[in-house]
Structure 1
Amino acid sequence: MHLPARATIGVVSIIIRILVNAVALWAAVYLIDGINVGAATTAEKVVVYLIVGAIFGLVNAVIKPIVKTVGCAFYVLTLGLIALVVNALLLMLTAWVASALDLPFAIDGFWPAFWGAIVVAVVSWLLGLVLPEGDES
């Protein structure tokens, strides 16, 4: 089956986003105490990072716009700093979903999630600078 070029670009864009999320989550696990992946082998860890990266992408795609819309006044009042708290909570939600799916990804509270969300945002931003957007025609 042959997909149209636009659909292929969309699939590639999703794959790149999942890979970026996986690398960013790996960096957070590596740098922040309190964020852990309990897989035994490297292959299992890679699979966990990819699945959790997909979960994180879905959480951000579905819930973050709703939170931004409902909490627009808080974003304005705090000059956007509330976004740090929102990102930490979205990362904690990702860990909860991963736990519900029996994935060995855990966050030990708000502060590791807070610092982890900052690491994930910075790494994602840096990777976004060097990777193609994927939505070009």
Structure 2
Amino acid sequence: MVKFLLRVIVNGLALWVATLILPGMEVIPSDTVGDTGDTTLNTVIAYLVIGLVFGAVNAVVKPVISLLSLPLTCLTLGLFTIIINAGMLILTVWLTSYLPIQVTVDAFWWTAVFAAIIISIVSMVANGVFGLNRSSRD
């Protein structure tokens, strides 16, 4: 359970860094969710919820898409994985459009692809810091 929560936090952190760097990506927190009156808390909750959705998309949909696109990924020496990651981000954008908390991306090619690269780098570093990549005998 702790690893799951850390992964959600890492996803939220990676999305936050991507929204800081890219002007075409934005997270829109809802004022009605929680209704705490604290905009910082609403923003943190928004990133955690979007990180949860992004993690679920990566856990369920990404393995199927990666398997189906394996020939193209091999042909491009793995670079097609960036496009797959951008597609998972766009799927997350679509799924969160049905929630009160939303993430928006203005363009697939530049914003989503660069966001996928940024999210991958931040996730890799944060997973290394938190030790989420290590196998354990829990």
Q: Tell me the TM-score normalised to structure 1 length.
A: 0.88
Contact 1:22 1:49 (C-alpha < 8 Å) held by counterparts:
yes
Q: Please, which runs of 5 or more residues in structure 2 have no aligned partner?
A: 32-38
In the other structure, the counterpart of 1:123 is 122
Is the contact between residue 13 and residue 135 of structure 1 (CA under 8 Å) also seen in structure 2?
A: no
Map 1:65-80 to 2 at 5 A: 65-80=63-78
Matches within 5 A, 1:3-82: 11-39=1-29, 41-82=39-80
2:35 matched to which residue of 1?
none
Letter of the 1:35 partner, please give it. Answer: M
Q: Per-residue CA shift, 1:110-130, capped at 9, x if unaligned?
A: 021111111100000011111
Tell me which protein shows more helix as a share of its residues. Answer: 1
- The 1-side partners of 2:131 and 2:14 are apart by 17
Matched-pair identity in %? 36
- The alignment covers a number of residue pairs equal to 127
Q: CA deviation at 1:105?
A: 1.5
Aligned to 2:36: none
Q: Distance in 1 between matches of 2:8 and 2:96?
A: 15
Indicate conservation of the 8 Å contact 1:25/1:120, yes or no.
yes
- Which stretch of structure 1 is more off in the superposition, 39-48 or 58-67? 39-48
Provide the secondary structure at the position in 2 that maps to 1:100.
coil
Structure 1 spans left out of the alignment, 5+ residues: 1-10
* CA positional deviation for 1:132: 2.2
Aligned partner of residue 97 in structure 2, secondary structure: helix
Q: What is the identity, as a one-letter code, of the residue corresponding to 1:112? A: T
2:99 to 98, 101, 111: 101
Matched, 1:136 2:126: no
Cα contact 2:28–2:46 (8 A) shared by 1 = no
2:88 — aligned with what? 90
TM-score, normalised with respect to structure 2: 0.87
